[in-house]
Every structure is written in structure tokens, then in C-alpha cells.
Structure 1
Amino acid sequence: MSLSWYQRYLATGWALRQAGCMSVDATDVAVAAGPTGPGGAADVTVRQGATGGGGGAAPRAGDAIRRAELAAFLRSRRERITPEQVGLPRGSRRRTPGLRREEVAHLGAVGVTWYTWLEQGRDIHVSPQVLDAVARALLLDRAERSHLFALAGAIDPLPGKECTGVPLALRQILHQLAPFPAVVQNSRFDILAYNSTYGQLMCDLDALPEEDRNCMWLAFTHPGWRATLADREATVRTMTAKFRASMAEHVAEPAWKALVTRLTEASPEFREIWAQHEVERPASALKVFRHPKVGLLQLTGTNLWTGPNPGPKVLAYTPVDDVSRERLEQLEKLAFGQE
């Protein structure tokens, strides 16, 4: 009987270790003969060790610590999930707290071996697709998912994960700021939440599909939004420069690349500005809006960060004079159909 690809792989690794060419927990053999798909050959590579004659680069001291932290994190998440939570029978002989490793692998449609190696802290590289499957199987929330990808040294492939929800408490703060316009944005200029006044400041945001609620997209493509910007040319240049500066930390992320592609295809103006590679950091500034119903508004924009790092933020606009304050009050009444 011929050996399976996995048996041949194990035999090869054993022989190389005996020859002193490999460390015990790392090999120079990329799993090239196994199954494809999540957890298959295309998704997991066992990396070359630093000892013996393999010739590989020595691992950094922090890598082993990071792998151990990842292993402990996965075990803790697995052990907190009951079989009933994921539709599995408990059985009468279950001694493992929470789920078994093979159950997690089954739920995520990944290889049992690969998941086991992750929990053992092996020196392996796992694709973002496998990590995504593991995150779903372990019912990770947004913070836990981010932690998983950070420990694995991988980029989350799913768009819109920088901030997927706005807490009720923050929404209440936005509401209380009215008639001052206020909005929660992430660093990609996605509009995540807003109060009634902001919702009518430049266009009727409620009437837009969710995928179009992005300030960059609206500033370059929405006629109503563009018409309210008193100094539109300078505004879009500044926005593009801030967007490029923020994107430096997200250049490989699909959501950022997709937005640039969408803007490039839709707006010649964006293509021209983007090609100039200008950058600018976020800052508060005077904003002038020309609203079709209430008139000219002079507002000061203030950024309030919602976390320890620049990313999701509350952007609030306050009037610089009494006339602008009165017109904001009129705008709030318009938002509720009172005028």
C-alpha cells in the first residue's frame, strides 16, 4: 500500500531531523502535496528551523512568545464554548472543557492537524483565510478577532472590520450634541453613525445605501454633497491627503484597496489628486458649508478619538458665530420635518 501524502511528509521530516537538518518543531518542507482549501496546502506552511544545516534565518526571540500567547488564547476561547452553543451533542464521555480541537476544526472546515499545531505554538504560517475560519468557529467578537490576527501576524481579509458597530452610549452622545452636527467615522472615512443634524448637513444620508456612506466617495461623486462644500477643491485635496496618510498602515487591506479602486474608476478628479501622493495628518479646522435651505454655515470641526489609537473618531461641528448657530437650529428642525 502506498503512503499518503501526509505520511510521506512526516517520514521526510523525521529523516531530516535525524540528519540534524531541522529543529524538532519546524521543517523546511512546505506542505505542497496535501489538500487545498482552508487548512490545506495553500493555506499553511511549516517553516524552516534555525538549527542544523537547513540554512534558514534564526527566528526572532519574540516570535516564540507570540506563538505561545496565540496558543493560550485559542485554548481559552475553545474551552469556553459549550457543544450546545454550536449545535453539537455533548455525549456522555466528554472530559474536555468546552469544545475538542477536532470539533473546532470541523466547525471551521480546517485541517485538524493545522489547528492542533496552532494550539501547540508550532512555527507555522497560516493564511488569513484559515484564521477567518477559526475566528468564526470560535465565535470571536470584534476585539477577539482583531487580537487573533495580531498574534498571528496576519491582516484581516474582511472589509469594514476597523469598527463594525457603534455602542448605544456613543449614539446617545451624538443625539445629545444636536443641533451641533456630529458623526462617527473610521480612518477610511466610513460614516458609522450620525445625529439628525449631520444627516441633513450635506445631503439626506438616510436615503443613501450603506455602501455609499463614505465621505471620500460622497465628496467625489455625490452632486448634493459636493455643492455644499464652499471650497470644494481645497476640501477634497485635504481629504485625499489625510486618506493617503491613514492608508499607510492599511496598504494591503482589501477594504482600503477596494475604495481606492472604486474612486479611481468613478472620478477623474480623484485619479489626478491621488497620483500626486500628498499626505496630511488629521487636524481641526474651520469648515464652511453652503446649505441649500438654511444658507452659509461656518463651523469648527473637532476630532474626538474613541480609542487609544487614531481610527474611529467622533467628528463634531460647532458654530463660530450666532448666525451659524441659529441656522444649525433651523437645520435640526428640517431634519424632523418641522419646517
Structure 2
Amino acid sequence: MTRGDTTELAAALRQWRERLTPADAGVPAGPRRRTPGLRREEVARLAGVSVDYVVRLEQGRGPHPSPSVLGALARALRLSPAEAGHLFDLAGVALPGPGRVNDVVRPSVLRLLDRMQDLPAMLIDARKSLLAWNPLADALLGDISAIPRERRNLLWMRFGPGAGEGRGLVLDEAGGRDRLDRSAVADARSALARYPDDPVLRSLVDELRRVSPRFASLWAERPVEDHRVDRKTYDVAGIGRITLDCDALEVPDDGQVLIVYSAAPGSPDAEKLDLLRVVGLQKV
């Protein structure tokens, strides 16, 4: 076996896919499942790539995967850190090192997210890219998996072209956007200071400065903040406006954050969250 071994990469991907049950990956089992493990279609959806891409990789004739695609495949297949490192080796790609954002998710964190069934929750990296989420987060934000993988990013969803369309713009508890805009840009500045050599993060910031006058203006002001608790308001079809407490829980050593949304018991927003569990989950 050599570094960048496409034959061994194909065999490993097939083996990892076949050992994973639908329950492990949080997808419905469905009827008439004749093949072991996950279907290629399910891996493709979880990783945000095309089915044809997965087929070609498993047949040893695919393109050279980028680090972001490899990270997405590692998450979809629930690989351990050692297995994720092996995946990168087989693809001939270096794992993220110092100065680069880590988007490889520990299986233990994914299991924790799986157990959060009563509250919307999602995992993001230092770029604000969505790495994983539970069904209630899908119900709150819309069909996240329908967003192109490279655009599953909270900064892009807030400032990019068409921001807020379909899912509605995220507002603060008073119904405004200025404070959250400033906070998002401050987070981006902090991330770039911590990961100055990350090309994906730098490209994202450069692109947003080019396409979003609002982002560019705030970036020039150099806002600095440090926050772990917030309140955010969403407009959800069939539910209306719901304001939730937003707690950011850091994943030690990985530079990732688990965001969990909740509401005070007995409050009108808690009742709307209960309704979201019923109405929203029927649509995802």
C-alpha cells in the first residue's frame, strides 16, 4: 500500500460503508434493504456529494478528493480519528495541521448529537461550516442537506447572495440583525487570526468581502467579541416566529462548537418548540 493508493482507498470506502447501519448514521432503514450497511445514495447525501462521485471513488476511478470532501466522507462514515487519518493517507492528502481548521468530527461527538432528540443542535467548525446536525435543527433551519456542501456555512447563509431567502434571516431577540451581524464578523476575524494558513477560511472571507457590502463594511470596523450564550429568533413555516436560547459548547482540542437551542419551560417559545417537534419533523 502506498500513499495515494486509489485501489486501497476504494476498498476501504466500501468496507466502511458496509459496516455502518442506518441507525448508526441516523437515517431511516426503510423496506427492502438487501445490501449490508449504508447505500451509496445515503453516503452521498450525508457527505453532500453526488452518488456518481461515491460510485467512482469506490471503483477506484474517481477524482482526487479535496480535504473538505474527505472530511465530509469521514463524518458520513463515522470514522475514528485514526481511520480518518488513514483515509487522508490513502487519498494522498495531508490532514489539517497547525494553522488549518479541523473539520474531521469525532464519532463520540456525532453520537452525542444523535442523542439530542428534544432540542435543535448542530456542530460547526471554526469557519462556521455546518458539519453535522440533528432532525430538529433541520426543522428549524430548513433542509440543510439541500444546500450545496460548500455553502453550508453560517456566514455565507447570513451574508451571501440571497441570504435569508427560504429559511428566513436569523434575528436577535428584539427582531433586529445588527448585533448578530457584528457578532458573526467578529467570530470570522477571530477564526482567521487563529487559523491564518487555512485557505478555505481565507477564501470564504475574501469572497464575502467582495459580494457583501454589509460584511465588507463590518470587516473594516474590526469588531472583537467573546460570547458563548445568545438568543436568536427564527421564522419557521407553520410555527411562526420563535426565539430560542443559543448555547455554544466547545469541543476540546478540535476547534469545533456544538450549538444547542432551547426555551424556558412553560414559555410561549417552549410551546412553539414542542410544536416544531411535531410539525417540523414530519417535513424532514
Is the shorter-chain TM-score for this pair beyond 0.5, marking a shared fold?
A: yes
Gap runs ≥5 in structure 2? 9-85
How many residues in Structure 1 have an aligned counterpart in Structure 2? 199
**Offset of 1:82 from its aligned partner?**
8.1
Say whether residues 1:182 and 2:121 are aligned partners: yes
1:18-64 Cα distance to aligned partner (Å, 9 max, x none):
xxxxxxxxxxxxxxxxxxxxxxxxxxxxxxxxxxxxxxxxxxxxxxx
**Offset of 1:141 from its aligned partner?**
10
Aligned-partner Cα distance in 2 for 1:286–1:86: 47
1:206-260 Cα distance to aligned partner (Å, 9 max, x none):
2211111100110113223443423222211111112212221112321111101
Distance 1:138 1:331, change over 3 A: closer
Say whether residues 1:215 and 2:154 are aligned partners: yes
Calculate the aligned-residue CA RMSD, in Å: 3.3
Name the counterpart of 2:139. Answer: 200
* Match 2:219 to one of 255, 267, 274: 274
**Offset of 1:171 from its aligned partner?**
2.8
TM-score w.r.t. structure 1 length?
0.51
SS, match of residue 279 in structure 1? coil
Aligned-partner Cα distance in 2 for 1:173–1:219: 27
Contact preservation (8 Å) 1:298, 1:320 = no
Contact preservation (8 Å) 2:250, 2:256 = yes
Aligned-partner Cα distance in 1 for 2:231–2:168: 17
* Match 2:110 to one of 171, 174, 179: 171
Contact preservation (8 Å) 1:178, 1:332 = no
**Where do residues 38-187 of structure 1 align in structure 2 (5 Å cutoff)?**
139=90, 145-146=95-96, 149-150=97-98, 162-165=102-105, 167=107, 169-187=108-126
Say whether residues 1:326 and 2:267 are aligned partners: no
- % identity of equivalent residues: 23
Say whether residues 1:227 and 2:169 are aligned partners: yes
Aligned-partner Cα distance in 2 for 1:256–1:301: 24
Name the counterpart of 2:47. Answer: none
Name the counterpart of 1:46. Answer: none
Name the counterpart of 1:307. Answer: 252
Question: Quick one: higher RCO (CA 8 Å, sep 6+), 1 or 2?
Answer: 2
Say whether residues 1:243 and 2:188 are aligned partners: yes
**Offset of 1:269 from its aligned partner?**
0.9
Q: Give the partner amino acid of 1:218.
A: M
Gap runs ≥5 in structure 1? 1-80, 89-134
Aligned-partner Cα distance in 2 for 1:140–1:205: 27
Name the counterpart of 2:234. Answer: 289
**Offset of 1:279 from its aligned partner?**
1.2
**Offset of 1:294 from its aligned partner?**
0.9
Aligned-partner Cα distance in 1 for 2:251–2:92: 18
SS, match of residue 200 in structure 1? helix
Q: Give the partner amino acid of 1:295.
A: G
Distance 1:226 1:305, change over 3 A: same
Distance 1:268 1:252, change over 3 A: same
Q: Give the partner amino acid of 1:145.
A: L
Distance 1:262 1:286, change over 3 A: same
Question: Which segment is superposed worse, 299-308 or 288-297?
Answer: 288-297
Aligned-partner Cα distance in 1 for 2:103–2:150: 14
Contact preservation (8 Å) 1:182, 1:195 = yes
1:2-32 Cα distance to aligned partner (Å, 9 max, x none):
xxxxxxxxxxxxxxxxxxxxxxxxxxxxxxx
Distance 1:136 1:282, change over 3 A: same
Aligned-partner Cα distance in 1 for 2:238–2:259: 23
SS, match of residue 314 in structure 1? strand
1:266-288 Cα distance to aligned partner (Å, 9 max, x none):
21111111111111123212223
**Offset of 1:328 from its aligned partner?**
1.5
Aligned-partner Cα distance in 1 for 2:148–2:91: 28
Question: Which segment is superposed worse, 200-209 or 188-197?
Answer: 200-209
Q: Give the partner amino acid of 1:191.
A: L
Say whether residues 1:191 and 2:130 are aligned partners: yes
SS, match of residue 178 in structure 2? helix
Q: Give the partner amino acid of 1:164.
A: V
**Offset of 1:137 from its aligned partner?**
9.2
